[in-house]
Copies of this chain bind each other. A is one copy, B any other.
Amino acid sequence: MAALEQSEAEAAEGVGGRLRQVRQIFGLTQRELARRAGVTNGAISLIEQNRVSPSISSLKKILDGIPMSLAEFFTLDLSPSESVFFLAGELTEIAFGERISFRMVGRRVKTCSLQMLHETYQPGADTGEAMLRHEGEEAGVVTRGRLLVTVGDQERLLGPGDAYYFRSQIPHRFRNCSEEPCEVVSANSPPSF
């Protein structure tokens, strides 16, 4: 029977592609995830290829190994590699009066109430190998020095004028590997204070 007639609009996604993306974002191999979740690696392989449609209980077991809830899994917005990095020239500039200009990070403002911070990373500073992860979203602009930013499976050394924008659910880490201090103007949402 032709079991599958779902909206192929999700392109390479489907549940399988979704699982693969999530797994890779968290830096896990099929076998490692299988071990944590208490299932076999073969099962994960089949699911990621959309050759089977897992039962809820199986999918839940697997996500427990990440860990991630079913709601998070289906809600998480995995738009095609939603631009994480914005180089200096890519910031859209908003003129404000004659002497003032805002340079907007990210696309149009959706429904995000952001809160900005001015951070300084001394040489060698590191938020730690245990990746950060929390609710909301965060963005930032490097104003001085260089900052190594890791977000999921993406990593980039940002310099003055460069920026980032990502969902804080994705594991992330900041490091200043240079010899001079680094300044960043960052923002997070929801306003957590």
Chain A residues in the interface with B (C-beta under 8 A): 3-4, 6, 15, 52-60, 69-71, 73-75, 111, 190
In the complex, the chain B residue whose C-beta lies closest to that of A53 is B57
Chain B nearest CB, measured from A17 CB (Å): 13
Residues of B within 8 A of A15 (CB): 56
Q: Is the CB of B53 within 8 A of A56?
A: yes
13 A–B contacts from the bound complex (CB under 8 Å): A6-B60, A15-B56, A52-B55, A53-B55, A54-B56, A55-B56, A56-B59, A69-B74, A71-B74, A71-B75, A73-B74, A74-B74, A74-B75
Complex interface: chain B residues within 8 A of A74 (CB): 69-71, 73-75
A50 CB, min distance to chain B CBs, angstroms? 10
In the assembled complex, the CB of A13 is this many whole angstroms from the nearest CB of chain B, namely 12
Alpha-carbon gap, A111 to B52, bound state (A): 39
